């Protein structure tokens, strides 16, 4: 499965995890949705970077470091200023979702899903065109 396909799958996962029903039987899973939204965005950018032959910057395992990827992707021309901010915010929300005691609120998770949707669309559509 390619990274761009994984990006789309994670995006759909984020949407499904935010589902809620009027009767309260289905509640949104905001922490999980936020993490999936970030990985959708990360994989879309990583896919573009791979397609363009841009190298990893991690020393051990081969991957694009999470802390530096937004600014590197901006330098590479994959992201503009606003999308760079969005990827940074998604990264930071995902850190909060996974490592902090805070509960991610529904509005934060919903924002994350919207940011990821826009970023994945822009990055992958530009690749296609």
Partner 1 sequence: MTTPVREELARRISDALSGRPVRWAQNVLGDYDGRERTLEIFNADAAEQRELFRSLRPIRKEMEAVAGGPVIVIFHTRAESARLYSDFVERALLAEVTLDVDTAARILDVEVPPLGTDIALHPRSGAPGTGSSELPRKAA
- Contacting positions for partner 1 (CB under 8 A): 65-68, 70-71, 81, 85, 88-89, 91-92, 95-96, 98-103, 105, 107-108, 111
State the minimum distance, in angstroms, from the CB of residue 129 to partner 1.
27
Identity of the residue, 12 or 102, whose beta carbon is nearer to partner 1 in the bound complex: 102
The CB-of-128 to partner 1 minimum distance in angstroms stands at 28
Name the minimum Å distance from CB 26 to partner 1: 21
Pairwise CA distance, residues 38 & 92, whole Å: 9
Question: What is the token pair recorded at 93?
Answer: 């929300």
In angstroms, give the least distance from the CB of 73 to partner 1: 12
Q: What is the DSSP letter of 54?
A: P
Residue nearer to partner 1 on the CB measure, 5 or 80: 80
Q: Which is nearer to partner 1, 50 or 88 (CB)?
A: 88
Calculate the alpha carbon distances from 11 to 54, 71, 82, 90, 118 in Å. Answer: 24, 22, 19, 13, 10
Closer residue to partner 1 (CB): 5 or 67 = 67
Distances (CA, A) of 61 to 28, 76, 85: 33, 22, 26
Residues found in the chain: 129
């Amino acid at each position: 499965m390619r990274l761009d396909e994984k990006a789309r799958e994670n995006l759909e996962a984020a949407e499904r995890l935010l589902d809620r029903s009027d009767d309260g039987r289905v509640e949104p899973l905001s922490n999980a949705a936020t993490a999936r939204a970030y990985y959708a965005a990360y994989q879309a950018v990583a896919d573009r970077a791979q397609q363009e032959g841009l190298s990893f910057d991690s020393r051990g395992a081969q991957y694009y470091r999470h802390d530096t990827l937004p600014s590197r992707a901006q330098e590479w021309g994959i992201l503009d200023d606003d999308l760079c901010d969005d990827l940074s915010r998604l990264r930071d929300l995902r850190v909060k979702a996974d490592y902090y005691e805070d509960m991610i609120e529904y509005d934060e998770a919903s924002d994350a899903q919207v940011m990821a949707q826009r970023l994945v669309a822009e990055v992958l559509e530009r690749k296609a065109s």
